[in-house]
Structure 1
Amino acid sequence: EADINDLKGKVFNPVTKLNAQVITAILGSALTDDRVVNNRVVAEKDQANMTLPYRVRLNFDASFVGRDRLRIRLQARDAVTTFFAGDPGVGFQGGGGGTFTLAQLLYQFPAFDRAATIYAGITGTGVSSVLQYSVPFDALSDFADLPNSTGDVPSGTLFGFRYRLSDQFRLAYAYSTRGGQTLGRGFGDSGLTGNDSAHTVELGFLPTENLELYLQFASTYLQDASRGPGFLATGSSLFRGPLRRNDVTPSARVNAFTVAANWELSPRIILSGWFTAGNVDYNLPNVVPAGTIDPGDEDFNGFLLGFAFPDLFIEGAKGGVVFGQPIVTTDNDGVWDTRPFIVDVYYSFPVNEYITLTPAAYFVSNPNGGRPGDNDPTIGVGALRAVFTF
């Protein structure tokens, strides 16, 4: 009885659970040669340095009827890890200077006799909260995740659902927008429908217990596309010059398809990957200065393929190797001669139930796409990452 009373006194909240995660790493990045842009050295290969980025998350999960969940996430991080142009950075990167902010507010609940789950995200919510496809990797780079073309669309406020059509088929849909709480210059260019936004649909086919196939489509509207859609690995410089000189801000419509799969070849080997392709259609405002060149449109593609090895050497450990091409434009027109490629290897092992260590490294060849006038040394990044969960 004394033990029971003691446990009751330690309950955080009768409807809320608190869980926390701290990620940090000793991280180093270097080049195989000096970086030259427009015949000027902008980074030297012997300037490699070590950093200590971190991210802290406090998740408060509340349930009011037993099968719903309200997640309130507080987050603080200082992990700006992209040292060189073309470096995708590590998976937990982001600024913030160590200040705690409300990073996510998401409510989900079952419907239609639990065949569906409804999602309503107020802030900090991306479509990955709704989509069912996820990679099985614990890799270091941010590239070894969902494709940015359909998985990293404008986020913040979100409404969506998952629906189990049958034992083999799954359907998911999400509408997401950036700055849903903001009233900008007017009613038409802000709020839930006027800012950057995306419609994302996913159809999943699970023919066996060991195989998952997914088809994703995302249609994204970008209010300001003067710097391109954001996910092209080498940027989108075909039109930057004329638009920047005339101070014109184009909008863009991005339509992207992704085919993805997870295949458990055996209990110790999982094959996973995706291929994505699409088009960016740039649109100028109605009134533009004379001489402004219409940027038109451009196509893009990218892919990822990797193997994950659960329980490698010891129970609870994870190993893996990932290879792929970051998303790049296919309309080179002599601007980019060589495509970038990335290799990511890692081995994650538990020290105990609370601490996991991961030595990992990734390498990016041709990170700048072979742009004329630049050299393109390979980027190498290595880290010893520690994850504390409690």
Structure 2
Amino acid sequence: MAQMPAVADLEAQIPRLPAPERSLGMQRTMPQVTSVNQLSDVRPTDWAYQALASLVEKYGCIAGYPDGTFRGNRAATRFEMAAALNACLDVISDRFASKEDLATLQRLAEEFSSELAVIKGRVTNLEGRVANLEATQFSTTTKLRASAIFSVSDVLTGTRAVAAPGRGSTIEDNTVVTYRARLNFDTSFYGKDVLRVRIQAANMPNYGTVTGTNMARLSYDTNTEGQFRIDDLYYRTPLTKRLFLAFDAAAGNFDKNVFTFNPLLQSDETGAISRFGRFNPLYRFGGGNSAGLTLRYTLLENKEQGTGLVLNLGYQAPNANNPDRNTPNTNGLIGGAYAALAQLDWRPVKNLALGFTYVRSFGTGVAGGTGSNGFPGSAGNPIGNNANAAADNFGFQFTYRPIQKLNIAGWVGYSNVYQVQNFTGPRREAEVLNWAATFGVPDIWRKGDVLGLIVGQPPQTISVRNVVNAPSATFNSYHIEGLYRIPISPNISITPGVIALVNPNSNSNNAPIVLGVVRTTFSF
């Protein structure tokens, strides 16, 4: 009978995985089993089964899955058995093992030598990748999400919009190439919440200045003169299963926290190319350097039928960061300008959603940076002094998807504006109205594309009383917009579009203004 090799010699001949594999291996992630009978994928007729049975029952060293199987095809089972052998070697090397058991281990190691070699190579590669990740990762709790917009735009035709009964001169402008870059740092502390810090740099033109009317503003226009600045700062978290909280510390708007009922076209990066075409302007009434709070509570919900009822309550103060009281009715979180929102989202059937919105505002405009502007009685300045103006604002929104490849959405917004302070004589009052219908056709030629059409009337004053130098109210401006979003890849899209404004600033003496835009969006 041949002499059995020494224990140390046998241990040296058995292939062993590196230490990191043992720490990342099956023993750490799976509960240990005490009998090979629990490893149901290993057939009792195999010699390896008998060897495992002897070692497991003696040393309790092999780990299996919770359901007692190796889970996999034959090749996978062999790799898992190789890993199990390494686990057994770890256990046995710390104990006084017999020569017979060491010989069994050696035979098993020779049987699964190729699998052990492959696993060792994979572990070495994994070690390198883990080390690189640990050295270069940004944060374990924060994710970086970024986007960049390159825009080519031009006023194709039109005259500068002025108040009635005047007529503006021809718009002199050049084709421009501009950009907007955003870096979003999203941090989650327990998986369901998010703290966002956004920095932004841009040199986008404001076509309201170029054309004389905010009806011409683009959805993504902003200008930081190329300097990165804080653009968004908020925290969102569910408080209970039905109650959701959103706190805005900077650049808050209601549209960021409540449903706006225009799902295919509401995005400024991939949706409408106009500011007006995204959603009802009343969602911007608390805009500016706003801070505030929004609560969303689910009253009723049936996930199987896709129906439900949600109550939204929000408060925004556009100058919440300014404590100066020298300018009356303007600054501070409480006691200055504000907008308070209440909205019911109702889904009576799966493909239909209706929104009923009320906003009480004070010291703010009621056009949301859209519509006619620049003169007393315009939608942007309906009573000539927004600092002393209060308004009751009502909105109705809907979105309906009759078929998979068609979404119809729209809204109506009405504001009753009146002066409440610092006036003598008759009180100044005005009414402002806007409406729009949008049509989105997704995946019409290729997956991810959207053909969009927007038709409506931006905010315009339909009646005005006791406002000096205000022209007669005429509700005759129209907004017509067409666009097509072309997905180049999951992270790149190109959206050419055209915006046509008929009778801008509610003045039929103004020639129609037509803008051409090509927006390219990169996101990652």
Which bracket does the TM-score occupy, shorter chain normalised? 0.7 to 0.9
CA shift in 2, pair 1:254/1:231, >3 Å: farther
Deviation at 1:212, TM superposition (A): 0.8
Q: Which amino acid aligns with 1:130?
A: N
Deviation at 1:338, TM superposition (A): 5.0
Q: Which amino acid aligns with 1:327?
A: P
**Matches of 1:37 and 1:219, distance apart in 2:** 28
Given candidates 68, 71, 80, the residue that maps to 2:193 is 68
- Residue 258 in structure 1 maps to residue 395 in structure 2: yes
CA shift in 2, pair 1:134/1:60, >3 Å: farther
**In the alignment, is the contact (CA less than 8 A) between 1:201 and 1:218 conserved in 2?**
yes
- Residue 345 in structure 1 maps to residue 491 in structure 2: no
Task: Write the mapping of 1:231-380 to structure 2, written as runs, cut at 5 A.
Answer: 231=369, 233-235=371-373, 237-238=376-377, 251-285=388-422, 294-331=426-463, 335-337=472-474, 339-370=476-507, 375-380=509-514
Deviates more, 1:188-197 or 1:72-81: 188-197
Deviation at 1:111, TM superposition (A): 1.2
Task: Write the mapping of 1:79-158 to structure 2, written as runs, cut at 5 A.
Answer: 79-82=204-207, 83-86=210-213, 87-112=215-240, 114-135=241-262, 136-137=264-265, 138-155=271-288, 156-158=290-292
Greater fraction of residues in helix = 2
CA shift in 2, pair 1:31/1:37, >3 Å: farther
- Residue 3 in structure 1 maps to residue 129 in structure 2: yes
Q: Which amino acid aligns with 1:257?
A: F
Give 1:204's aligned residue: 345
1:326-362 C-alpha deviation (Å, 9 max, x unpaired): 0111116862445100111000111112211111111
Tell me how many residue pairs correspond in the alignment. Answer: 373
**In the alignment, is the contact (CA less than 8 A) between 1:149 and 1:231 conserved in 2?**
no
Deviation at 1:389, TM superposition (A): 0.8
1:275-333 C-alpha deviation (Å, 9 max, x unpaired): 11120012341xx6xxx654521112110101101112111111110100001111168
Give 2:157's aligned residue: 31
* 3-state SS in 1 of match to 2:504: coil
**In the alignment, is the contact (CA less than 8 A) between 2:342 and 2:359 conserved in 1?**
yes
Q: Which amino acid aligns with 1:261?
A: F
CA shift in 2, pair 1:38/1:195, >3 Å: same
TM-score (norm 1): 0.87
Give 1:388's aligned residue: 522
**In the alignment, is the contact (CA less than 8 A) between 1:35 and 1:44 conserved in 2?**
no
* 3-state SS in 2 of match to 1:53: strand
CA shift in 2, pair 1:67/1:250, >3 Å: closer
Larger Rg belongs to: 2
**In the alignment, is the contact (CA less than 8 A) between 1:326 and 1:341 conserved in 2?**
yes
**Matches of 1:38 and 1:125, distance apart in 2:** 35
Deviation at 1:95, TM superposition (A): 2.3
**Matches of 1:378 and 1:214, distance apart in 2:** 32
Given candidates 184, 205, 210, the residue that maps to 2:324 is 184
Q: Which amino acid aligns with 1:153?
A: G
CA shift in 2, pair 1:308/1:232, >3 Å: closer
* 3-state SS in 2 of match to 1:368: helix
**Matches of 1:57 and 1:341, distance apart in 2:** 32
Give 1:18's aligned residue: 144
Greater fraction of residues in strand = 1
**Matches of 1:299 and 1:23, distance apart in 2:** 36
CA shift in 2, pair 1:111/1:376, >3 Å: same
**Matches of 1:99 and 1:24, distance apart in 2:** 16
**Consecutive unaligned residues in structure 1, runs of 5 or more:** none
**In the alignment, is the contact (CA less than 8 A) between 1:179 and 1:191 conserved in 2?**
yes
**In the alignment, is the contact (CA less than 8 A) between 2:362 and 2:387 conserved in 1?**
no
Q: Which amino acid aligns with 1:306?
A: T
CA shift in 2, pair 1:107/1:39, >3 Å: closer
Q: Which amino acid aligns with 1:388?
A: F
**Matches of 1:34 and 1:252, distance apart in 2:** 28
**Consecutive unaligned residues in structure 2, runs of 5 or more:** 1-125, 266-270, 302-307, 466-470
**In the alignment, is the contact (CA less than 8 A) between 1:146 and 1:152 conserved in 2?**
no
**Matches of 1:163 and 1:249, distance apart in 2:** 32
Q: Once superposed, which parts of structure 1, at least 4 consecutive aligned residues long, lie more than 6 Å away? A: 34-41
**Matches of 2:190 and 2:164, distance apart in 1:** 62
Q: Which amino acid aligns with 2:325?
A: R
**In the alignment, is the contact (CA less than 8 A) between 1:70 and 1:106 conserved in 2?**
yes
**Matches of 2:147 and 2:211, distance apart in 1:** 28
Higher RCO, 1 or 2 (CA under 8 Å, sep at least 6)?
Answer: 1
Give 2:356's aligned residue: 215
CA shift in 2, pair 1:64/1:367, >3 Å: same
